[in-house]
Amino acid sequence: DLHNSNNGLPSSNSDTSLPYSSIVNLDRGDTVLLESYWRKMRKESIVEIEGWEFLSYASDLKSVCWFMMPELRDAIKKLHALVGNAETDDRQIVLGNGSTQLFQAALFALSASSDGPVNVVAAAPYYSGYPDETDLVRSSLYKWSGDAKDYEKQEAYIEIVTSPNNPDGSIRGPVVMSNKCDGEGKLIHDLAYYWPHYTPITYQANHDLMLFTFSKCTGHSGSRIGWAIVKDIDIAKKMTTFIVLNSIGVSKESQARAAKIMGVVCNSYQSFKFDGSNNNKESQLFFEFNRHLLKERWEKLREVVKQSDRFLLPRFQKTYCNFTNESFETYPAFAWLMSKDEEDCGSYLEKKLRVVARSGNRFGSDPKYVRINMLTTGDDFDEFLERLSNIKDITF
């Protein structure tokens, strides 16, 4: 998630008249918050690979996705079975270099047999990667067509449903069906954040084509592992063709590490002995541990926003989670911060606080919004809160 037009750098040069000498960059989608759990699990999560291993491109020639290692397929299925967030039985799993590559593979597969370019839409605010990735190579198979809420063409379309949504954390379903459109429609469900550290698990998703990513699940964005769960075997075959022609598969070192890490998550639940206290869960169990950290950040941010009275944050209702058997709110990986007074919240934060965040207009929305990364480093997050809480004292 690095699609900033300016590579995450602020647009202005350093200005010594500003009250802060350093820049706090909350633009990127990095997932460093999840690091502390993995530091705790150092020994359990080590992967050793010897020089003779993993020379072949292939892993399992009997499978549709023949470059995927069987142990990773098994680990993914086990993790979904544990959490209950997605159905994997009788479905194909296609592996990609992050869900970024799989998104493009899905566009290719879903539009490969149509005549004209298929319209690709998502309800605004939508993840800024979608328009950029859709139009990058100006494909004749598909083209970006903007906000799904406005889509009324009688033409074939693909709607991307992101739930919980990046950037605003909302829980979503498709919207085009309910418009006046009666063109042929296909759906991609991007469920990158449908894990119980971010949101209650309310149903076992069983959509036609679902995307998940190691980046947001365990925090290992740098391994570049994503997977698609696909009902239709022909679509899975086409997606595999795309990945093969694009990168002849996915690094086996990354696959081995992903399998190991997912195994550690599952084992923490299998070996857990509940002593009746929530502390015990929050110190040992992966999703509970990280939800606790994220919840703390959300509470601190809400408090500072309340004090300043200049911004608004979205609110989320408590919902029952089938995985944890508790009710809790969604704690999104991003905060969708709205300025009450400023038309351009991004440049306001940058000029006044030297805080860089992604502007609402990158998400097909209004520049009075910005997206703040809630999974950034502790230092950056604390510094951001500090600057935000001092905002009223700054006069220049």
Distance of CA 216 to CAs 36, 213, 294, 382, Å? Answer: 15, 6, 13, 21
Minimum distance of ligand PMP from residue 380's CB (angstroms): 17
Given a contact cutoff of 8 angstroms between Cβ atoms, the answer to whether 282 and 288 are in contact is: yes
CB 100 to ligand PMP: min, Å: 3
Check binding of 374 to ligand PMP (CB under 6 A).
no
Query: Residues near 175 by Cβ (< 8 Å), separated by ≥ 6?
Result: 123, 148, 149, 159
- Name the segment binding ligand PMP (CB under 6 A); options: 66-74, 96-104, 105-113, 379-387: 96-104
E strands, the chain, in order: 24-25, 92-97, 118-122, 142-147, 157-162, 185-190, 209-213, 225-230, 311-312, 319-321, 326-328, 334-339, 355-356, 358-359, 369-373
Q: Which of 59, 111, 199, 215 binds ligand PMP (CB under 6 A)?
A: 215
Kindly identify the residues of this chain, within the stretch 178-197, that bind ligand PMP according to CB under 6 A.
190, 192
Pick between residue 216 and residue 281 the one whose CB is nearest to ligand PMP: 216
Classify 157 as helix, strand or coil.
strand
Q: Which lies closer to ligand PMP via its Cβ, residue 164 or residue 284? A: 164
Stretch that binds ligand PMP, among 92-100, 104-112, 251-259, 352-360 (CB under 6 A): 92-100
Spatial distance between the Cα atoms of 320 and 327, rounded to a whole number of angstroms: 4
99 contacts ligand PMP (rule: CB under 6 A): yes
Residues contacting 284, CB < 8 A, separation 6+: 268, 272
Answer whether 34's CB lies under 8 Å from 218's CB: yes
What number of H helices and E strands is found in the chain?
11, 15
Closer to ligand PMP at the Cβ: 25 or 100? 100
- CB of residue 193 vs ligand PMP: minimum separation in angstroms? 7
Q: Does 290 bind ligand PMP (CB under 6 A)?
A: no
* Minimum distance, C-beta of residue 188 to ligand PMP, in the bound complex (Å): 10
The Cα 62–Cα 311 span in angstroms is: 55
Q: Is 100 a binder of ligand PMP (CB under 6 A)? A: yes
Q: Report yes or no: 259 and 217 within 8 Å, Cβ to Cβ.
A: no
Closer by beta carbon to ligand PMP, 101 or else 339: 101
Burial status of residue 393 (CB atoms within 10 A of its CB: 0-12, 13-18, 19 or more)? exposed
- Does the footprint of ligand PMP cover residue 1 (CB under 6 A)? yes
- Is residue 364 part of the contact set for ligand PMP (CB under 6 A)? no
Q: Interaction with ligand PMP in 117-136: which residues (CB under 6 A)? A: 127
> Which residue, 105 or 355, has its beta carbon nearer to ligand PMP?
105
Q: Does 98 bind ligand PMP (CB under 6 A)?
A: yes
Longest dimension (CA), the chain: 67
Tell me the closest approach of the beta carbon of residue 298 to ligand PMP, in angstroms.
Answer: 18
199 forms part of the interface with ligand PMP (CB under 6 A): no
Structural Rg of the chain based on CA atoms: 21
Nearest-approach distance from CB 216 to ligand PMP, in angstroms: 7
Q: Of 81-89, 98-106, 114-122, 324-332, which segment contacts ligand PMP by CB under 6 A? A: 98-106
Given the rule CB under 6 A, which residues bind ligand PMP?
A: 1, 29, 98-100, 127, 162, 166, 190, 192, 213, 215, 221, 226
